[in-house]
């Protein structure tokens, strides 16, 4: 990751010396400067992640295990406390980078409108959600690991079903952080519904999200699965992009639906998840000795979570390939519903408003 970020940093600086094609000079330079700052922060974040990983290896997990032993809890409860404390500590350790990004970097470039109280309110909401859902999932995995012979197969299916449920209920989860109100524009609503009818997209409604409460960036998305699908428009998008541009952007999103990109992504993630469980089920005892912990369901789950970023590094080219292919195909479909010129103009508006640098290193 760090090597990629360094290459991207150098590439952006080179591109900033060239005359912009898509954006005005001022917007181009600002997008480049924002990208540079994000890359620099990403490098710092990865160095800190490496230090945290080393901390868990050399003393973190063993101290956590000692603490749960000291509490003298029943075995299963001790495993749960171990795993939940691990999740809570990881969340707290990630807080400084998140705080700097939201409260300093994004404010400096005119994006974030988050107050200090709202930032911590969001953090504790997210932490509570992580721990409550994590409690149920981890307890289920512990029971499977302890009582099922080929536990990796059952664990895979449990986590995969959890991923599907997370997508299914995402519209409900999102309501914990934002307000969603029905679109109050009958003409626009009828045009969107007409576009959705063309591709057979059924939704529970078209909603406007109060994104401007936190951020000035533009976006729109389709959330949920099955009958729970809904169209979500950021209020920032409605105020910045005209009706034709908005419809073109939604056409792009409908392209993902038409091409079944979400189902394909779930399939790919399911395959990678199966591989992860196959590997983690055959960890040699040496790994647990390296972390100075006993070979228990809780320590196994913690080690799995620690190694996920390492695993994702090797799968990144595959995921990136499919992601880019999906975006190109969605662009083609979106252009077919409106026009190439309309979609291109709308996407350039989003790039400009979001200060997204239009070039990336071809690695």
Q: Which residue is catalytic, options 253, 289, 341, 353?
A: 253
Handedness of CA 287, 292, 297, 303 (dihedral sign): negative
Are 311 and 317 in contact by the 8 Å Cβ rule? The answer is no
Could you tell me if residue 200 is left (phi over 0), alpha (psi between -120 and 50 degrees) or otherwise beta?
Answer: left
Rounded to an integer, what distance in angstroms lies between the CA atom of residue 315 and that of residue 34? 27
Handedness of CA 149, 150, 151, 155 (dihedral sign): negative
Check the annotation: does 327 bind a ligand.
yes
Check the annotation: does 256 bind a ligand.
yes
Which residue in the block uniquely carries the two structure tokens 């090597």?
Answer: 3
Are 76 and 123 in contact by the 8 Å Cβ rule? The answer is no
| 53 half-sphere exposure, CB direction, 13 A CA radius | 14
Active site residue 65: no
Cα radius of gyration (the chain): 23
Q: Terminus-to-terminus CA distance in the chain, angstroms?
A: 12
Active site residue 253: yes
Q: Which residue is catalytic, options 65, 106, 261, 331?
A: 331
Q: Would you list which residues are annotated within the binding site for Zn(2+)? A: 252, 256, 327
Q: Would you list which residues are annotated within the binding site? A: 252, 256, 327
Return the active site residues: 253, 331
């Amino acid at each position: 990751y760090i090597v990629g970020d360094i290459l991207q940093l150098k590439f952006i600086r080179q591109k900033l010396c060239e005359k912009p094609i898509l954006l005005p000079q001022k917007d181009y330079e600002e997008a480049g400067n924002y990208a540079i700052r994000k890359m620099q922060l990403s490098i710092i974040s990865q160095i800190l992640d490496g230090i945290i990983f080393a901390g868990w290896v050399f003393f973190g997990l063993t101290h956590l295990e000692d603490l749960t032993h000291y509490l003298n809890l029943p075995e299963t409860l001790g495993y749960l406390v171990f795993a939940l404390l691990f999740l809570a500590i990881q969340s707290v350790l990630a807080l400084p980078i998140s705080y700097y990004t939201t409260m300093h970097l994004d404010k400096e470039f005119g994006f974030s409108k988050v107050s200090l109280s709202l930032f911590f309110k969001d953090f504790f909401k997210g932490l509570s959600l992580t721990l409550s859902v994590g409690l149920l999932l981890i307890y289920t995995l512990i029971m499977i690991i302890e009582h099922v012979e080929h536990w990796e197969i059952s664990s895979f299916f449990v986590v995969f079903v959890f991923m599907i449920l997370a997508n299914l209920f995402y519209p409900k989860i999102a309501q914990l952080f934002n307000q969603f109100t029905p679109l109050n524009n009958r003409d626009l609503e009828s045009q969107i519904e007409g576009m959705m009818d063309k591709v057979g997209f059924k939704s529970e409604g078209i909603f406007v999200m109060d994104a401007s409460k936190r951020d000035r960036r533009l976006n729109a998305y389709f959330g949920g699965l099955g009958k729970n699908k809904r169209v979500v428009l950021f209020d920032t998008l409605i105020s910045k992009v005209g009706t034709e541009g908005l419809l073109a952007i939604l056409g792009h999103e409908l392209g993902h639906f038409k091409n079944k990109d979400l189902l394909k992504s779930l399939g790919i993630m399911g395959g990678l998840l199966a591989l992860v469980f196959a590997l983690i089920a055959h960890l040699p005892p040496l790994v647990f000795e390296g972390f100075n912990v006993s070979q228990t369901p809780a320590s196994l789950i913690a080690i799995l979570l620690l190694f996920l970023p390492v695993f994702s590094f090797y799968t990144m080219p595959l995921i990136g390939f499919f992601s880019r292919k999906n975006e190109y195909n969605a662009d083609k479909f979106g252009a077919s519903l409106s026009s190439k010129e309309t979609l291109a103009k709308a996407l350039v508006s989003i790039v400009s408003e979001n200060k997204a640098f239009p070039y990336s290193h071809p690695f």
